[in-house]
A and B are shown apart, each in its own frame.
Chain A
Amino acid sequence: MLKKANPTMFGIVFFLMFAMLGQLLAQQTLEDVKKARGLNDDDVLAAVKTFMPRGGRDEYFAFVGTGNSGTMIVYGIPSMRIYKYVGVFSPEPWQGYGYDDESILMLKKGSSDNRIYSYGDMRYPALSETNGEYNGKYLFYSDGANSRIAMLGLDDFETKQVLPHPLFVNCFPGVAVTENTEFVIQSSQYPAPWENKSADLEKEFDSKFKSGVTFWKFVDPKEATRSGHHIGRMIKEESFTVELPPFTLDYFDTGRKGSNTFVVGLASKDGKNYVYVIDYSKIQDKVSSRVNEANVVSTKAAIDAKGLAMIELPEAARKVKVTPDGKYFITASDNAMVFDFDKVASSMANGTFSGKTAGDIPLIDANSVMKGKVNIGKDVMDIAFDYRDGVVYASAFSDKKIVRWNYNDLKTEGEVALTFKPAMLMTPQGMSAAPHSNYLVAVDKEGLYDNYPNVGPVRPSFQHLIDISSDNMRDIYTMSLPQANIYGSVAVLRTTIKPIIRYALGTNTRTGEISDFKTVAGQEKIERQGNRVHVFGTLIRSHITPEIVEVNEGDVVTFHLTNLERAEDETHGFTINTYGKHGSFEPGKTASLTFVADRPGVFPYYCTEFCSALHLEMEGILLVKPKNWKGKVEKEVALTKEELEQYKKQYEKKIEVIKQTGDVINGVVKFLKENDYAKYPYVKALVEDAFDQLEKGKFAKENYEKYAKEGKWKDAFLWAEQYWQYQVKTADVGLRAKTLLEEKLQGGK
């Protein structure tokens, strides 16, 4: 039974208050807006269910299978706002992914060719688990196009590992993990020979073409690296692949609780459809050979160990998913079939088979292990689970409906008619042992909307948020998702993921180690070894150190840069004009950009991320001196007496401004202190950053005082100016802190 709430007194009172307020503020009322925009009461309810007030937090993080975009996308439920795109199998310049040395090196490890693949096809991600529940630490994707597997760390939402598959030419673009992420599982999709030789498609298909299921060993170390990161790794040497005859493999899932050592997946061959069942506990020590330096368990070894069987399906299925309790697995087919894991396990243990299929794989009679089936509708695409015991949803594509039913009693409980054809389904946490039950996301692959702006043939993908919190299921939001060929997703409770906001100073974010190229303030330098030039630099509001770099034509130059910022969201970017390299440097990160200075000339470099009021002044110049350059260096012009006098005046004027600005800062500081700013973490962080900025100005102050003493008025003036710039940055952050504090004092928005 579903929980039902009655409209409360509160609602009515609120309405009255609301009407009063509308008048009080002498602006549009809710009714005015409804009328003007043509909204009805259901729309308003949907609006307030999905609208996120300023600064509010979404309940869930959702990670999208994005098809051939090769990029991870994370959005929030219920506001359906997209938070981030992260390069996984495709380069992504905003983050310097595939453009800085560290990420290029990582991607090269994911390629067994003399190049880096430039895209991937990733459709069904998986989140890491502990005891069958999401632990919020890692995210995995399979590349169905270029046969790779990738892992992202969710402490910083970056890709940490990409590996090539040693055997499969074509992978199924989905992954699943075992109950404690002991293994990450990937399968082939379309069969192919494993030995890099062509074969006769007609005559040699059964003898030379192969399929397989790979268990990538995953290790999540307890100890942090020196940078404080926990970086798990898939270990190729400890992984193994179960070899299968040339079946076309499709969607698969892992068991949990009682069925935790099982993998079930869809397979087809010669027009027949199957579910394959692998019990990895029986076969993980049965490695029979090594192919391409990968461990292989032969089909025969797997059968002999009672670890492999198949069930022939009476009708084709699009998905097979394991129920949250681990007791059953269900096929997404027009007549959804519920299979009992216990019965399957005992069939395999007792050798109760009805026959054999290709490769002598034993067949289990479907009816002997089936709990039952439920007719859903036409072209069932997917199923998703709920928090409520036995509740499952199924999408019927051609019937334009989603059906809620129960796998315990095999009865339908309700349905929602839709305006679109639903495909893949997702409930938050629905692929774990603890699904939640207020939201269901349904993918609309067709995306045919008369009222959506037509912006040319290439359209976004669409999905709908369905409110499943009550008996009355409703479609409450249509979300568009660009640059993604959308498939399955996974979502996790927001609080399960604990992202960091800055790196330990000098972190190589791909390895999680402190970079050898970390540079701290005052230690910037340029090192040369023949034609190899290493620039060790730092980034801080609003300058790059060093600012002028001169190299010779043909030098191989690397800029190793460290962002010294400790403040949240103070990212700097770096590029050298027309040299095609870009790095993104989040607070604390060290990354390197290598290029051959093969074109002589003058090349400005600059910060690409708008970081402060003087962001545009965060620049430098790379001079590339031509080979055999024979020009003459022109003499510097000396300052005239009048000019010097002018600078002195400017200096004195600036000192006055510095004093006044100091007063403004003190005023803000006073306000902050009087209002206990330290009680509010975000405000506190800002205030600390403001003090940091002032702190950095000390060096400039020393300089201007020194030069003033020496009568070098130009330098004195410029360094005074620099000190003032730090004051401006202090004021900038200080005022931001003040605004935020004022808001907090007003009540949180």
Chain B
Amino acid sequence: MKKVNKFIRKSLLVTAIFAFSALFLVNCGGEKKSGGAGLDGAPFGDESFGDVVKRRGLNAQDVLAAVKTYTPDKIADEYVSLNSGGQAGNMIMYTVPSMRMLKYVPTAARQPYNGYGYSVETKKMMETGFIDGAEILWGDTHHPGFSETDGLYNGKWAAINDKANPRIYIISLNDWELKQIVQNPIFRCDHGGCFFTPNSEYIMEAAQYPAPLDRKYYPLTEATFEKYWRGGLTYWKFNNETGKVDERNSFTFEFPPYTQDLSDAGKNASYGWGFTNSFCSEMYFGGIESGRAPFEAGCSSKDTDYLHVTNWKKAAELIKSGKIKTKRINGHTVIPIESAVKHGLLYLIPEPKSPHGVDVDPSGDYIIVAGKLDSHAWVYSFKKIMDAIKNKKFEGTDKFGIPIIALEDALHGSVEVGLGPLHNQYDDQKGIVYTSIYVDSRVTKWDYLNLKVLDYVSSHYNIGHLVSAHGDTKKPHGKYLISLDKLSIDRFNPVGPLHPQNHQLIDIDADKMRIIYDMPLPMGEPHYTALISVKDFKSVDKYDVGTDITTMKKSKYYTAVGKERVVKRGKTVEVFGTINNGKVTPNNISVNQGQKVVIHLTNHGQSKLDHYVYEVSAYDAMYRWRPGETASIEFVAEKAGMFPLLLDKIHSPANRELQGYLAVKFNQAAENARLLAYSKRVQADMQMQAFKPSAIEIKNLLPGEMEFLNYGCNACHKFGSEFNGPDLLMVDKRRDDKWLKSWILNPEKHYSEPDIEAMRQKYKLAMPNQNVSEKDVGKIIQYLKAKSEAVMKEMTSKK
């Protein structure tokens, strides 16, 4: 902690210097004006460069940042960033350096613009991700990775994990569409994925919150937790050419029930090895409700956690040759801890408390781990790790018998980088690394070979991950770094309680880092981003006519122009149609109420403009057909009537055009079924709403008590006894209403009063401003009186 103090002092000094130079800039930049818009909307007129700079209050750095990021149509952006969408369950793409939003690639959740989850084909794709058959229509995507050849992005595939529903998604860079969903059959939660090995031999996916691997129920005790709960690391066998995950030749390392976090694959000298960190190696579980300290206390009580070192190359060879004892759980190959230990496939090394990122450097010789609760970043030497393994130099084993390499035997060194370091990204200059510092809200640039800090820049606020161009490959590009800020508080126009995230583009070309753009991320919460140069991938803009885009094969429902037909079979009406020259054939469809309708359409358009949405009004049935695509929509014609069939050309300003009508002929039985289903649904909803919770504090409240509770006054005050703050019994007799009001509204105004100061000394805490509104303060005071009276009455009656 002394070091932390020193660090703060040092940062103050640096800040002071910075403040001075900034002041100078501001003076030169002219007076600051907020907003800039004339409130009346009058035109600004013809403005020169100087006029604009003055009106908008830009300083010299702002102007430089503007020209570094502004990208007119004649010049191209340099990079595309692929982000996880977090709980939006998608992937977010934007361009660099212009920081313009580009695309949301759907993965876990339906997306009407793309059509994902609306066609029969994409619905089927989603179903492959239904865990235990449960319909899961969202996900929590976390860490995207690009496929690699020889440790460099090969521009073919991207993969991402889903923390909420342990699955991974494979996206083709050929069309940036989802091609495969792979369920992890033994984890309940994952987080550390997707990380490709240097030739995309495997994709690493680590568990997060441990759970029994057989997915069975066990009662929760400390004993059962150790016995049945497990973590793990899955190596998914990947084919770089087909982009398919080969589930049969994939395997999982069983890990102790430490909470595993991120991973990275070794390269060059460390090729064949993987590194996975963990937190909560205390194996603690909380239970505030039963008096146990919460997870957050028990999960970070040790000074170190464990870096898991795994040898995937040797493991794969042993499994192939049958020389290792594995077990099958839910049909999946698992290497038990004892087998892994026996064959020298698994080691532990202490790492700083609650680490997040573990990042192998471009040379593959060093691995940097940053621990959120330690102000240092620790640099491990792969050579030292190998020496320790070779010489069997271990400091002991953990409870599960895994050999532990002593920290000093593996460490190249450590550097104090700031409070709450999280994640590291590399530069094109040798030995340079950038680390995100969560608590200090900054990026620290440092030299991991010579172990010294070089520079830092403040981010806004609380940076989580960061990314540099190709920063996790053998050849990082340098140039740009993006800070993925978790909060954006005062950065943008306010849009309600839910704020956008903030991604800050940082120019890292010069020695001194500079933030050149603040970009709001309008949906989802990106956890990690990967940046790929626009030169390193090549995508199509259309498909061969008749392509099913989920399989990339010719669809069996392909229909040639002139071969359109309607086939009626039993209760199903199947339409084989075409979209050609902006028209759908057949135009009208006639069915009976209660029949199932399947419409297969082939889009014969082949230009970039030939994107069509075909929809059945009021039936919630639609899909977007890309040029050349064949896809189907399917629904039950549950209600009778005439429903317009519409075609909308997305890349044209024309209206959606009427193609014809779906005529659904009335059928009494089907109508009865529809009405019954509807009224049942309404009944169920009403039943759901009928529940009124019992004895929640709302009943029998004194006037103003709700306000008292809402503003959290009860956190510190009681009536009739002291608590964290003074006793409020009869407070209304000691202070007048006016004073009480002023005190509650603006306590800081009274801090200098001697009796307040005395109380502050006594309780070691000043009363915080609780943002009580003018309207509520009166009610609170009313409650103070009423409650005092009630308590007094009770006390006297007891006597």
Contact = CB atoms under 8 A, between A and B. Distances in A.
7 contacts: A47-B66, A170-B644, A201-B588, A452-B73, A482-B101, A731-B419, A747-B22
B709 A520 contact: yes
Interface in B158-175: 163-166, 174-175
B26 interface: yes
A94 B501 CA distance: 12
A121 interface: yes
Interface in B427-477: 438-441, 458, 460-462, 464
Interface residues of B, number: 251
A280 to B, nearest CB: 25
B137 interface: yes
Contacts of B642: 169, 192-193, 198-199, 201, 209
Given A10-B30, A457-B541, A51 B648 contact: no
Interface stretch (B222-230, B315-323, B388-396, B565-573): B222-230
Given A453-B76, A634-B224, A169 B618 contact: yes
B498 to A, nearest CB: 5
Nearest to B82: A455
Contact of A725 (B34, B112, B300, B771): B300
B32 A119 contact: no
- 9 closest pairs, A vs B, by CB? A11-B50, A436-B41, A51-B66, A59-B37, A47-B70, A722-B297, A604-B209, A7-B48, A660-B1
A516 B43 CA distance: 51
A69 B489 contact: no
Contacts of A633: 219, 221
B495 A18 contact: no
Contact of B68 (A33, A117, A424): A33
Given A119-B620, A613-B438, A636-B221, A59 B36 contact: yes
Interface stretch (B239-247, B338-346, B511-519, B556-564): B511-519
Chain A, interface residues (CB within 8 Å), range:
35 or more
A146 B618 contact: yes
A30 interface: yes
A423 B653 contact: yes
B416 to A, nearest CB: 14
Which of B43, B50, B489, B496 counts the most A-chain CB atoms under 10 A from its CB? B496
Contact of B646 (A190, A524, A621): A190
A51 B35 contact: no
Interface stretch (A179-187, A333-341, A363-371, A575-583): A575-583
Nearest to A671: B12
Interface string A444-460: 01111101111111111
Contacts of B35: 57, 59, 494-495
Interface string B743-785: 0000010000000000000000110111101000000000000
Contacts, number: 777
A382 to B, nearest CB: 8
Interface stretch (A305-313, A349-357, A498-506): A498-506
Interface in B330-385: 354, 356, 372-373
B30 A14 contact: yes
Nearest to B663: A198
B497 A471 contact: no
B510 interface: yes
Contacts of A575: 87, 140, 164
A281 to B, nearest CB: 30
Interface string B642-655: 11101010111101
B271 interface: no
Given A39-B72, A45-B49, A536 B164 contact: no
Interface stretch (B306-314, B607-615, B729-737): B607-615
A589 interface: yes
B646 A457 contact: no
Interface in B97-150: 99-104, 108-114, 117-118, 131-132, 134-140
Contacts of B439: 613, 728, 731-732, 735
B677 A114 contact: yes
Interface in A179-222: 189-190, 192-193, 195-199, 201, 209
Given A485-B648, A717-B301, 15 more contacts: A2-B45, A12-B50, A39-B70, A66-B113, A156-B496, A456-B177, A518-B698, A578-B166, A580-B134, A580-B165, A620-B295, A688-B770, A725-B296, A732-B439, A749-B59
A554 interface: no
Interface in A667-724: 667-668, 671, 678, 682, 684, 686, 688, 691-692, 694-696, 698, 700, 703, 715, 717-719, 721-722
A242 interface: no
Which of B39, B212, B620, B766 counts the most A-chain CB atoms under 10 A from its CB? B620
B74 A53 contact: no
Interface stretch (B198-206, B280-288, B578-586, B791-799): B280-288
Nearest to A28: B64
Interface string B700-728: 00000000011010111000000010000
Contacts of B301: 650, 717-718, 721
Interface string A564-606: 1010110101010111101010111100001000111111101
Contacts of B284: 718
Contacts of B70: 39, 43-44, 46-47, 50-51
Which of B211, B461, B493, B697 counts the most A-chain CB atoms under 10 A from its CB? B493
Contact of B300 (A15, A424, A614): A614
A634 B116 CA distance: 47
Given A193-B642, A722-B297, A99 B140 contact: no
B669 interface: no
A94 B88 contact: yes
B617 interface: yes
Interface in B80-106: 80, 85-89, 93, 95, 99-104
Contacts of B300: 614, 617, 721, 725
Contact of B694 (A484, A527, A636, A736): A527
Interface string A474-518: 000011111111000000011100011111111000000000111
Given A43-B70, A92-B523, A118-B110, A21 B60 contact: yes
Interface string A222-243: 0000001000000000000000
Contact of B102 (A101, A482, A609, A616): A482
Nearest to A391: B43
Interface in B594-625: 608-609, 611, 613, 615, 617-620, 622, 624
A609 B211 contact: no
Contacts of A527: 693-694
Contacts of B770: 566, 688
Which of B8, B112, B135, B166 counts the most A-chain CB atoms under 10 A from its CB? B112
A67 B653 CA distance: 12
A641 interface: no
B290 interface: yes
Which of A73, A144, A524 counts the most B-chain CB atoms under 10 A from its CB? A144
B488 interface: yes
Given A82-B520, A586-B498, A54 B295 contact: no
Given A37-B68, A39-B67, A573-B87, A619 B137 contact: no
B581 to A, nearest CB: 17
